Structure 1
Amino acid sequence: MSKDDKYKSVKPSMFVASAGWCTCFVNRNSLCLCQRTKIVQKLLRDLQEKIEPFQRFIIKYRKEYAFELSQIGNMDETLMTFNLQSNRTVTGIGEKTVLIKTTGHEKIHFRMVLLCSANGSKLPPVVIFKRKTLPKNMQFPAGVIVCAHKKGMDG
């Protein structure tokens, strides 16, 4: 009897494991316990009906003005925060109050803009801070466009 055959005869109702075994199993298999962060948006029911006219529009203007694929792009932007708080923390059993330390910047945000062109090339990411000017002695990563806007692109 092989090692695998030994486990085929075990019924789920016969399986017993300790919390320690579960922890080792999770670690051994690079797993983790997660909490749902948000529900993803459902696609529109009439999505296909909306895509086709848009595709015809793009094809028409691409032919009319001889646009290259590199001149047609897609952009997505999202609001980010400096202080990503967790909904979970590790604390002692029976604690009445659980404190989560923060940086104090929960309401300070920036915009992250990602772009790609129809030929598959990715454009440099853009970070937009809501302020009049950027700090003079700040170092930003190479290959990222960083700018300031007094309204943070809200208006």
Structure 2
Amino acid sequence: MRRKNLSNRHHTTVAQCLPDDLVEKQQEFLSYIMYRRIQYDYSLAYISNMNKTPVSFDLPSNTTIDELDARSVSIRTTGHEKANFTVVLTCMVDGTKLPHL
């Protein structure tokens, strides 16, 4: 690869930063939930956490081989990288895991 002036190149993205007051927001939310639980006498079996995540049908590689001094690097895909499906996972407060959707 050195002889042909090539190198492994990686696709990079900028990650999202967590807010500075994350711990305070978490504590405030937990206090709110616990207050409502006591106020309405909810059982822990009725409180859950549900998360939905998109999963792509096309998972292109993040690496490719390109010239050393290239300013931008193209990653070849099938063109369907925006086509995805959603996976929903749910966990109850008492530890019960519900079937995925």
TM-score by length of 2: 0.62
Matched, 1:54 2:29: yes
Q: Which runs of 5+ in 1 are unaligned?
A: 1-34, 91-98, 127-155
Q: Over aligned residues, Cα RMSD in angstroms?
A: 2.8
Name the structure where strand makes up a greater proportion of residues: 2
Shift of 1:77: 1.5
TM-score by length of 1: 0.44
Q: Based on CA coordinates, which of the two structures has the bigger radius of gyration? A: 1
Separation in 1 of the partners of 2:12 and 2:53? 16
Q: How many residues align?
A: 84
Aligned counterpart for 1:71 among listed residues 23, 32, 46: 46
Q: Percent identity?
A: 41
Indicate the residue corresponding to 2:88 in structure 1.
Answer: 113
Shift of 1:43: 2.6
Going from structure 1 to structure 2, the CA distance change for 1:63 and 1:106 (only over 3 Å counts) comes to same
Which is bigger in relative contact order (C-alpha 8 A, separation at least 6)? 2
Name the structure where helix makes up a greater proportion of residues: 1
